[in-house]
């Protein structure tokens, strides 16, 4: 595995999944607060009310990150901590103060903060007033993006506008498994995706104007990715073709509807009606990719695996996914999320042994190094996640962290994979 000297090694989290303090210091209600407080939506009716209590424990967590040895930390800002009603006249000083403290604590510890503006926690007031289908929400997002950019661009260089527009629309407004839990017709959901693209583009333009210095702006995309069974030309061509051809059943879980619009300024088969598409692609500095697994493809099409195939362990996707995405979009790539949920627990020796995660990481990071060897401009990798945290509709059932959280006590226990990742980074 060889990585460039200045390669960015980090970990990723998101506000609602780790912070807790859901109603503290003036924070407003987000759609995830409402969704979790609605019985029957989340596994065991769990909520992010406390989560990992990162709001109170961020200094300890950042100290633990310095032990890990990461050079960057990707986190999101809770919109309702800054503008409790979404677009208040003035920002909530205490909310801003928390992120000032967090950013300053990162910098003091030699960790570069990477800010994500929107990781799903839309202000409830805006959802109630038409949500992403309303101009108010788009304008509110631009106002929020400007405020964050003006306030932090003296200390923060990397900003992402939106995390996974594909999942926001698919899970939040189509399947209804995520907040706000709506099941709308496909063309309405596509209009919401269109609004997200407009909000992204307007925010990028506004941030370029108000930044206090040269900043790097991108967003995080997720979706279907395929990899070839063999290195044959036929397999590779078919894998690339199927990566960028949306299937009818799950057309929202694809990169190209959103990415073709906001990077290339082009429509594809599903969004021909976006007649403003040429105004949706202000230049970006990087493309974030959240990659967990993919589909094996031979020249005959998607390979059907037998019963019990470990479909979440498909490491080749972390080589071919970046290769195909870089070839199409020609932007430096940051793996903004990759990780593995394991049935982690505290062993009799008091430690958390997660050999399966170490195996996963060894395979995936090895494949990522192959993409770089092949000339793909990958500039960073953020492990999902730093600590175990609130996994949306699955609640706390899934553990993705390098650090185990004992939720009864809030205790943090670095897993074996923490030490493995630390050694990898130092090597």
The one catalytic residue in 46, 316, 337, 398 is 337
Contact residue for ligand GCO among 3, 9, 14, 217 (CB under 6 A): 14
Q: What is the DSSP string of 246-301?
A: --GGGTTS-SHHHHIIIII----TT-TT-TTGGGS----S-EEEE----EEEETTE
The one catalytic residue in 19, 127, 164, 191 is 164
Please tell me whether residue 386 binds ligand GCO under the rule CB under 6 A: no
Pair of tokens at residue 81? 């901590």
Contact residue for ligand GCO among 22, 340, 384, 386 (CB under 6 A): 384
**Minimum distance from residue 251 beta carbon to ligand GCO (Å):** 18
- Identify the sign of the CA torsion 34, 40, 43, 49: positive
Contact residue for ligand GCO among 222, 224, 281, 387 (CB under 6 A): 222
Using DSSP, state whether 42 is helix, strand or coil.
coil
327 catalytic, yes or no?
no
337 catalytic, yes or no?
yes
Query: CB-based contacts of 8: which residues, under 8 Å, 6+ apart?
Result: 71, 72, 112, 334, 379, 380, 381, 382
Contact residue for ligand GCO among 290, 293, 376, 387 (CB under 6 A): 290
Please tell me whether residue 199 binds ligand GCO under the rule CB under 6 A: no
Q: At 12, phi and psi to the nearest 5?
A: -125, 145
**Minimum distance from residue 289 beta carbon to ligand GCO (Å):** 10
Q: To which residue do tokens 């040269």 refer?
A: 214
**Minimum distance from residue 411 beta carbon to ligand GCO (Å):** 21
**Minimum distance from residue 194 beta carbon to ligand GCO (Å):** 21
Please tell me whether residue 337 binds ligand GCO under the rule CB under 6 A: yes
Please tell me whether residue 46 binds ligand GCO under the rule CB under 6 A: no
Query: CB-based contacts of 143: which residues, under 8 Å, 6+ apart?
Result: 83, 87
Q: Are 9 and 380 in contact (CB under 8 A)?
A: yes
Residue nearest ligand GCO, CB atom distance: 290
Interface map 133-172 toward ligand GCO (x if CB under 6 A):
------------------------------xx--x-----
What's the CA gap between 416 and 413, in Å, rounded? 10
Q: To which residue do tokens 């970990």 refer?
A: 11
Q: How many residues bind ligand GCO (CB under 6 A)?
A: 11
| Residues in region 388-417 near ligand GCO by CB under 6 A | 391, 400
**Minimum distance from residue 389 beta carbon to ligand GCO (Å):** 7
What's the CA gap between 258 and 254, in Å, rounded? 8
Instruction: Give catalytic residues, as residue numbers.
Output: 164, 337
| Interface residues toward ligand GCO, by CB under 6 A | 14, 17, 163-164, 167, 222, 290, 337, 384, 391, 400
């Amino acid at each position: 595995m060889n990585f460039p000297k200045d390669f960015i090694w980090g970990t990723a989290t998101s506000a609602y999944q780790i912070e807790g303090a859901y109603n503290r210091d003036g924070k407003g209600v987000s759609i995830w607060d409402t969704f979790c407080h609605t019985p029957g939506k989340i596994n065991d009716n769990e909520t992010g009310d406390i989560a990992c209590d990162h709001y109170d424990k961020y200094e300890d967590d950042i100290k633990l990150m310095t032990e890990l040895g990461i050079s960057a930390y990707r986190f999101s800002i809770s919109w309702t901590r800054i503008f409790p009603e979404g677009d208040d006249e003035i920002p909530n000083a205490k909310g801003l103060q928390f992120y000032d403290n967090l950013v300053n604590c990162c910098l003091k510890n030699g960790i570069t903060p990477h800010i994500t503006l929107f990781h799903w926690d839309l202000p409830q007031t805006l959802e109630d007033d038409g949500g992403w289908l309303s101009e108010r929400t788009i304008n509110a997002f631009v106002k929020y993006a400007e405020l964050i950019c003006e306030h932090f661009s003296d200390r923060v260089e990397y900003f992402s506008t939106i995390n996974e527009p594909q999942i926001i629309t698919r899970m939040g407004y189509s399947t209804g498994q995520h907040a706000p839990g709506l099941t709308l017709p496909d063309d309405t959901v596509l209009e919401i995706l269109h609004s997200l693209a407009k909000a992204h583009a307007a925010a990028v333009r506004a941030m370029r104007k108000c930044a206090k210095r040269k900043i790097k702006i991108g967003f995080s995309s997720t979706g279907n990715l395929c990899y070839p069974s063999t290195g044959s030309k036929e397999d590779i061509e078919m894998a690339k073709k199927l990566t960028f051809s949306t299937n009818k059943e799950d057309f929202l879980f694809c990169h190209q509807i959103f990415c073709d619009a906001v990077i290339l300024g082009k429509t594809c088969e599903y969004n021909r009606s976006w007649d403003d598409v040429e105004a949706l692609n202000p230049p970006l500095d990087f493309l974030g990719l959240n990659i967990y697994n993919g589909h094996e493809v031979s020249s005959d099409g998607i390979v059907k695996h037998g019963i019990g195939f470990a479909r979440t362990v498909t490491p080749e996707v972390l080589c071919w996914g970046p290769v195909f995405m870089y070839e199409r979009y020609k932007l430096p790539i940051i793996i903004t999320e990759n990780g593995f949920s394991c049935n982690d627990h505290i062993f009799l020796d008091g430690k958390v042994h997660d050999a399966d995660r170490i195996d996963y990481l060894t395979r995936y990071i090895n494949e990522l190094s192959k993409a770089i060897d092949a000339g793909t401009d990958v500039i960073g990798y953020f492990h999902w996640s730093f600590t175990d945290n609130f996994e949306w509709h699955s609640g706390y059932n899934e553990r993705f962290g390098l650090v185990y959280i004992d939720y009864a006590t809030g205790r943090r226990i670095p897993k074996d994979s923490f030490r493995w990742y630390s050694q990898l980074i130092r090597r």
